[in-house]
Structure 1
Amino acid sequence: MRILRFFFILLSIASAAQAQTSPEQISKKLTGARPGDIVLLEGFLTEKLPKISYHKTIQPGPQFIISDDPEYIRIPEAIALQEEVSPGAVRLYVYNVNGVTVPQKMPRKISAVIRNLGKEDMRIRMLKYSSQKPSTNYFQIGKQGLQDFFTSNEVNNLRVVKPGAVIAIDEKLEKQVVHYDELVHGFYEFVIDQPALISVLQTAPEKSGPKAFPAIDTLIPFSHVNAGRGVFPVSNYKITNRDTIDTQNGVCQLIVADGEDDPWITGTIGAEKQDAKNAGNYGVLYNTNLKWKSTNGKGLALITWNARSDNGQWCGGMGLTMALYDARMKKTVRQYPSSQLITKGKPEAILIEIFRPDPSKEIQEINFTYSPPGASCLPTPLILVPVDL
């Protein structure tokens, strides 16, 4: 009996050893894949990988508003967010769902409107525009919404609003019907030259948002759940590593938007300026510059994975979009994974990019913009793996 037990122990040890992917196999798998591919790395992915120590500085950016509390708007005619903004740049992230079940499920319209609070005509100039058709495919909306935002460059998109007048921020949403459980995802950046009131509302499909706005007297109380809502003074971060990454030191990972090493941004809700937080830093841009060198001739593969796939039913999938910049700062925007909608969890890793050492430079740079992906669990570990080229 003892011999049999010992045999099974040896067998389990051998099986575990076979399940581990060797560094050579990892290198071969990653260099043989294309950016956006899912690569199976058995026994490799863990949250315990060494962390990159970094500086995080606030960059100048727009006033930032997020509407995700409530995420599910369950009242047929209601305002889900209402915030005053000052003249200047504004970033608005709308993430709301038609959740009406009483007296019955019904189609709705979810729209963002802006009212000119100034005494003169207000000019609103759209700079970045991302608007998705309402859908129950939250992962696809989150990925495509970020891609559209990263690639957007609005030109001559200027409207004039009379004092006291109200217009829809996104005229496309005015034409969309939102059925039960469908998500409305809008991501915008614009400039205004008068103080204004921004509201996200739900109403009947046949009503226009601006015309429905004055008659809606229900402002849904906030509950401090989901990502949150409110207006925030921080919208952009600059991330730089404290110590130069060296390929000879092995694997390391950059962790942002985890609520611990990188706390959630804070702001205020409503006219009473009650405390608010964005639990996820959704809509915040992390402009990242990592310095690295290769003293052993290896390159670096940047990968990620769904590290929190076992954290309940809402963490079973992850997809994201990033903007990467080459040595000449030419931008490439790519959805991850590109071969399928989401990654589920280990051993699945997504290859983001492979960086090759430049023999003419001792210190090199990796530049990208990351923003926490909507509908996905956080954090999104960004892992750098030395590879043979």
Structure 2
Amino acid sequence: MKKGIKGLRAAAMAAVLLCAGHAGAAAPYSEGTTVVRERGAAEQNIHERTTGKTNIRERVAGIIGETTPPQNRVFAPGRSRMMRRWDVMTEDTGGTLLFSDSPEYVKESGILYRDTVEGDARVLYYHLNDTAQPKKVAVILETEANLAIVSVTRGGTSTPSTDYLRVGKATQIAYFDPAQHVERIYVAKERPRLLSPAMNTTVLAPGELVYGVYDFHANAPVRVSVVMYGADVDPFSFLRTARVLPRDEVALRGTFQNMDRVVTLPRAYDPMRDGAAYFPIGDNIHDIYRSGVDATDGTPVVNYGNYGILYHIALPITGRGQVRCFLSPLGGVYAGAVTAVSDGQSRLIETPASRAYFGDQTLPEPPQIAQARTEGLLVLTQYTELADLGTYSTVHPVTFTYSPPGASNLPVNIILLPE
């Protein structure tokens, strides 16, 4: 996962590619950017064994030249059909997001990101041990108040691994786990604390990735530091002398106000009247990337992909009939999870549920299809990769909770099909 940006568009092999590491100078993102994370080592090994192609351009060229349908897909039901883009309304709300993903490939111990927050907050960290020694990554809380109470309301991480897609999906499953309880951390003026004690027992071998997301509330200002340090080092002693590491070429770190995005429909969806519809998430055209500030030096930053933003997607339904919902990846490989709340019941849905990941077999768009998509039309074919989000009705509408998963690619479409 070397960071850098290369040109590659899905329709004509020229979209913008965001990889992770130091492959070259970063180019600016624009509207309609495809945010792409380079595949993890495990996925790359599988891909090399099955296709022999390691270069992205070779892979796309190979897909274009295929004459037989790809195998092990999630197929769209029925024949090809035209879908219309459904306009949605968005509102940004909630507390403060602290996003730590730069440097992503960490070559030395140090402070990866730091800022002070009060009230509702979320911290997301996503870092790989790019040294030759075992390391740990921790979130350390400090305060100048006599006592700060930090209530962790939701959180999740996974075992470090070189299989980055597995790390991304497992972390989302843990974060969206409904069986979580509030944990309180008491931070005193002279007594810093870890956001989770397990952080100081989790070791990253060289080449392994760690990814975590935690929501919390602080009743007084707390300084939050994301640090990487030696596996045999005390984190609090280390923090006293540690320095802030510089950003890498793709500056994915910063503080962003309003950590949630509420997505609503301007009117209720009628399956029989409105037909097949979709709306994109994370395309920077209809769903704009968030702007913030790198608190370590005051630099304005953009959250390319809205990683760490929690989407609340309410789908009111009217009329007769039911609607079946899907998530479809557009930018490349994807592995995550969402929650669906309907009829008072909440359930976790893996995306996809039948495979570890998907999006790797999406066919490039012909130019005429790409042009139609810019005009709000999209063709759903039997080869469109889909993750089933469930079937819902007027009596039991649904609200999805979604967040772009680490190690996965954007944008995605949320698709509504009459049943």
TM-score, scaled relative to structure 2: 0.72
Taking only aligned residues, the RMSD between alpha carbons, in angstroms, comes to: 2.5
Q: Does 1:74 align with 2:107?
A: yes
Offset at residue 337 of structure 1 (A): 1.4
Q: Give yes or no for contact 1:286–1:370 (8 Å, CA) kept in 2.
A: yes
**Structure-2 separation of matches of 1:357 and 1:193:** 41
The match for 1:110 among 137, 140, 155 is 137
Q: 276-285 or 340-349: which moved more?
A: 340-349
**Structure-2 separation of matches of 1:357 and 1:157:** 37
Name the CA shift for 1:161/1:291 in 2 (closer, same or farther; >3 Å): closer
Could you tell me which runs of 5 or more consecutive residues in structure 2 were left unpaired when the two chains were aligned. Answer: 1-66, 363-382
**Structure-2 separation of matches of 1:42 and 1:245:** 21
The match for 2:361 among 345, 362, 371 is 345
Number of corresponding residues? 328
Equivalent runs, 1:118-133 vs 2, <5 Å: 118=145, 120-133=146-159
Q: Give yes or no for contact 1:303–1:349 (8 Å, CA) kept in 2.
A: no
Q: Give yes or no for contact 1:305–1:345 (8 Å, CA) kept in 2.
A: no
1:369 corresponds to which residue? Answer: 401
The match for 1:323 among 298, 315, 339 is 339
Secondary structure of 2:103 counterpart: coil
**Structure-1 separation of matches of 2:327 and 2:181:** 34
Q: Give yes or no for contact 1:72–1:99 (8 Å, CA) kept in 2.
A: yes
Offset at residue 231 of structure 1 (A): 1.2
Runs of 4+ residues deviating >4 angstroms: 40-45
**Structure-1 separation of matches of 2:155 and 2:68:** 46
2:418 corresponds to which residue? Answer: 386
Name the CA shift for 1:285/1:368 in 2 (closer, same or farther; >3 Å): same
2:231 corresponds to which residue? Answer: 205
The match for 1:193 among 193, 212, 219 is 219
**Structure-2 separation of matches of 1:44 and 1:94:** 40
1:39 corresponds to which residue? Answer: 75
**Structure-1 separation of matches of 2:161 and 2:417:** 36
Name the CA shift for 1:323/1:300 in 2 (closer, same or farther; >3 Å): same
Name the CA shift for 1:242/1:145 in 2 (closer, same or farther; >3 Å): same
Offset at residue 371 of structure 1 (A): 1.0
Offset at residue 272 of structure 1 (A): 4.1
TM-score, scaled relative to structure 1: 0.77
Q: Does 1:302 align with 2:330?
A: no
Offset at residue 214 of structure 1 (A): 0.9
Q: Give yes or no for contact 1:39–1:351 (8 Å, CA) kept in 2.
A: no
Could you tell me which runs of 5 or more consecutive residues in structure 1 were left unpaired when the two chains were aligned. Answer: 1-17, 21-36, 310-316
State the percentage of identical aligned residues.
21
Q: Give yes or no for contact 2:260–2:311 (8 Å, CA) kept in 1.
A: yes
Q: Does 1:134 align with 2:167?
A: no
Q: Give yes or no for contact 1:301–1:351 (8 Å, CA) kept in 2.
A: no
Name the CA shift for 1:162/1:345 in 2 (closer, same or farther; >3 Å): same
Equivalent runs, 1:202-281 vs 2, <5 Å: 202-217=228-243, 219-223=244-248, 225=250, 228-248=252-272, 249-281=274-306
Offset at residue 292 of structure 1 (A): 2.9
**Structure-1 separation of matches of 2:80 and 2:329:** 13
Offset at residue 72 of structure 1 (A): 1.1
Name the CA shift for 1:385/1:127 in 2 (closer, same or farther; >3 Å): same
What do residues 196-246 of structure 1 show as CA deviations (whole Å, max 9, x unaligned)?
Answer: 2111111110112222111213x12224616x1111112111111124333
Secondary structure of 1:174 counterpart: helix
1:34 corresponds to which residue? Answer: none
1:161 corresponds to which residue? Answer: 187
2:317 corresponds to which residue? Answer: 292
